[in-house]
Structure 1
């Protein structure tokens, strides 16, 4: 194994260890600038304290087996913590297994507006667009 490969592997292992320890990282869970603007708008409209992060969660249910859930919440022990476009995101370990690599966007169109999840871990979704399978 070359020296460069060893360094990259060590860095990757270190990043994964940091994620499981609840450290702040960038990359495994991202938010577009458009989605971040909408989060700020909602936070201001609802007068939500700055100390609350946006919790990204996977819950059972929906047509395809799992659904996404977004809400403002305090960071809990064991949470993975990320910052993307100046929005603090928190995610519990179980949800993170399904969300790793996901990008959250906010879209407006003829069929309505809402947050859209680009999740590379899904194997399918249903017509409602809010549930997925892995």
Structure 2
């Protein structure tokens, strides 16, 4: 069961890459990793990027990573796992019931 204080998972390799990116680019602490979706239905894709939280956002501390999720996207991203491979970040969403 997911706790709302951990709506997504950040795998260790992704956490390290995120922290390295923050340090290398001197990104201010007010920023976080935005997790969301773009589009809808069969044409939806994952949205990952560094951003500042806005009034419609929820902010979470997941594995020491500040994660920003728009309240409208929360239901769609619950349970997602953010990873990192040599080609870039990955997002896996377990099927319902897993």
TM-score class, shorter-chain normalisation, is 0.7 to 0.9
Higher relative contact order (CA 8 A, sep 6+): 2
TM-score normalised over the length of structure 1: 0.62
Tell me which residue corresponds to 1:104: 82
Distance, in Å, in 2 between the alignment partners of 1:29 and 1:77 is 20
Structure 1 unaligned regions, length at least 5 = 1-11, 20-24, 123-134
Structure number with larger C-alpha Rg: 1
Runs of 4+ in 1 over 6 A off after TM superposition: none
TM-score normalised over the length of structure 2: 0.81
Calculate the aligned-residue CA RMSD, in Å. Answer: 2.1
The number of equivalent residue pairs is 94
Q: Which has the higher helix share?
A: 1
1:37 matches 2:16: yes
